[in-house]
Structure 1
Amino acid sequence: MTTRLPASMQVFERGWLSSNNVLFTGPHDTALVDSGYLTHAPQTLALLRHALQGRPLDRLLNTHLHSDHCGGNALLQASYGCHTAIPVLEADKVAAWDEEALSYRATGQQCARFTFDATLAPGDVLELGGLRWQVLAAPGHDPHALLLFCADEGVLMSGDALWENGFGVIFPELAGEPGFAEVGATLDLIATLDARIVIPGHGPLFDDVAGALTRARGRLAYLSGDPVRNAENAVKVLLKFLLLERRALALEALPELLGSIPLVERVRTHYLGRSAGELAQWAGAALVRAGAARVEEGQLIDI
């Protein structure tokens, strides 16, 4: 694998609860792309302090505003006073701190309130780490998500639009909005880029871009072939997120816990037609079958 990055870049590969972070230490300023989940914010700050070796963090940018990508924003702003740029179509929601529109209430996830100084829009060109980066639209997983691409180095920051094996949950479809076609269009866009290395939002860097695109398209065909599959996938992912955050969940509490998450309730009633108890039993068993959890003494335990 050829995953050599420019000297001004460093990637903190995080666990699946928190997004990967990309740190730029350029000659004139420093910048971080994405800040992880709220519960890991102190760890994010510690990683930064160690890597920056006394330099300030000048800039903070977000590929999109799901809680696992911007949950550390508030702490980093308080610690560094860093200039913060977010996707332009999220600006009004952040200014009003509309947790419903920002998805935090719907998904049952946490995000401390943060502010912003500037916005990012498709077509923008940025300088990060002394390199030129294009801002590209990446709808699908999130309708306002962005890609950052450095053509000179062939490096793509893909967020949750493309992982080595798949992509993020297609949330718009669950809210009754289009998402499958948008994922496909984003994958087509990535295929036109001459990317040498991809830095995904989660998981390791990879250089087999063609292989990843093939796998992602196969995954998209599977999910779009029956909307129930996308709905079930979302429930499994949201339960796994809770498990990552809490490490263990009482089996008897799962129906009420999942029922307290508005998006899960919508999926259950609109797509799956199962009782709360049936859905909780199915989701827990699905994680166990996937090797993502185990059952021990009446608890679902994270693996």
Structure 2
Amino acid sequence: MSPTIAALPAGLTVLERGWLSANNVLLAGRPGEGATLIDTGHCSHADQTLALVQQALGGQRLGRIFNTHLHSDHCGGNARLQRQHGCTVWTPPGQADAVVRWDETALSYRPTGQQCEPFTLQGVLIPGGELEIGTMGWEVLSAPGHDPDSVMLFQREHGLLISADALWEHGFGVVFPELEGESAFRDVRAVLELIATLPVRQVIPGHGRVFSDVAGALARAHERLAVFERQPARHARHAAKVLIKFHLMERRREPAADLLRWMLDTPLLASCHQRADSPLPLAGWTGALAEELCTAGHLRREGSWVVDA
């Protein structure tokens, strides 16, 4: 039997989103301080994010945005919210300079074939530091693996972990550095081991529902990680499917010829192909993956179009 989900602390609201947009966490501030929003979803959902946040604010001012990391599904609403609320944006320090220069290659948007509207940066979240948000203190924890610069936030009194994509109820995010030839599975393992040492009672993941079976989630994550460590080509295939699925979730529907062109023009898919060690050329390999997604019901074909399912 799964542990019962406890009530979240007063002043904390979780906006659980679909898989294209990361969950948003709104934390009330002290009087005059303004609220803090953690992660802002994908740019294609920015208007929806704005409406959801506006409703959750309940008359408060939005003072700050904290991003756990800078993948497009976690910071895509930053620019829209900044324009509306004049709020500041804080990110992990590793890519702060890339944000200031708006280097879409360094920020992963060009290699992954994804989008993010430019925003401005006002502060950084230093791993090992602490943040005061309203009446609660939060520890900033380094969480490399999925993204080398990602952070988690831990509220020790309530045993509450905002885990981003380092731990989900049933896994963790694609380990992107591995696709670029960098060793990062060991970083995933180290972060999972770190979480196990913390008195965590509830996890707010980057995607999916809030959960409290932390031991079960960690066991599932370790099992998944062990498979990827033994079979890195399997991880590369999985990552490629995720990129294709995210692209179709963003576009909703696309002519098959345009999808193939996008797959051939997306650098990270070429990296996945190389690491998958497939005998097929890139066009055949990515086309086969798209067909597998259709067979599994994640996409579907409508004549000459490929449609998100």
Question: Which TM-score bucket, shorter chain as reference?
Answer: over 0.9
Q: TM-score if structure 1 supplies the norm length?
A: 0.96
Q: Does 1:22 align with 2:28?
A: no
Letter in 1 for 2:20: L
Partner of 1:294: 300
User: Which of 278, 281, 295 pairs up with 1:275?
Assistant: 281
Instruction: Provide the C-alpha distance between the structure 1 equivalents of 2:258 and 2:250, rounded to a whole number of angstroms.
Output: 16
After TM superposition, list the pairs within 5 Å mapping 1:35-184 onto structure 2: 35-184=40-189
- Which residue of structure 1 aligns with residue 261 of structure 2? 256
Deviations 1:20-69 (A, max 9, x none): 00001133331100011111111111111111133210111000001110
2:62 is paired with a residue whose SS is: coil
Contact 1:11 1:20 in 2 (8 A): yes
Give the unaligned 5+ runs of structure 2: none
Distance in 2 separating the partners of 1:298 and 1:213? 42
The CA distance in 2 between the partners of 1:163 and 1:112, in whole Å, is 26
Write out per-residue CA displacement over residues 70-105 of structure 1, whole angstroms, 9 at most, x where no aligned residue.
Answer: 011111111111122110111111111111011010
Counterpart of 1:279, as a letter, is W
Kept after mapping to 2: 8 A contact 1:74/1:114:
yes
CA distance in 1, matches of 2:305, 2:229: 33
Q: Does 170-179 or 282-291 show the bigger shift?
A: 282-291
- 3-state SS in 1 of match to 2:117: coil
1:143-167 C-alpha deviation (Å, 9 max, x unpaired):
0100100010011000000001111
SS in 1 for 2:119: coil
CA–CA distance in 2 between the matches of 1:3 and 1:42? 31
Task: Flag the 1:42–1:152 CA change in 2: closer, same or farther, 3 A.
Answer: same
- After the TM superposition, which segments of 4 or more aligned residues of structure 1 sit over 3 Å from their partners? 269-273
Residue 87 of structure 1 contacts residue 119 of structure 1 at CA under 8 Å; is this kept in 2? yes
Match of 2:246 among 241, 246, 269: 241
Note the C-alpha offset of 1:287.
Answer: 1.5
Q: CA RMSD in A?
A: 1.4
Question: TM-score, length-normalised on structure 2?
Answer: 0.94
Out of 22-31 and 71-80, give the one that drifted further: 22-31
Q: Percent same amino acid among aligned pairs?
A: 50
Shift of 1:280: 2.7
Mapped contact 2:66–2:91 kept (Cα < 8 A): yes
* Alpha-carbon shift at residue 6 of structure 1 (Å): 0.5
Equivalent in 11, 14, 21 of residue 14 of structure 2:
11
Confirm whether residue 201 of structure 1 aligns to residue 221 of structure 2: no
Which SS does the other structure have where 1:58 is aligned? Answer: strand
- Please state how far the C-alpha of 1:270 moved relative to its aligned partner: 4.6
Matched pairs, number: 303
In 1, distance between residues paired with 2:218 and 2:137? 24
Q: Which stretch has the larger CA shift, 19-28 or 272-281? A: 272-281
- 1:175-222 Cα shifts (integer Å, max 9, x gaps): 111110000001000111111110000011111000000111111011
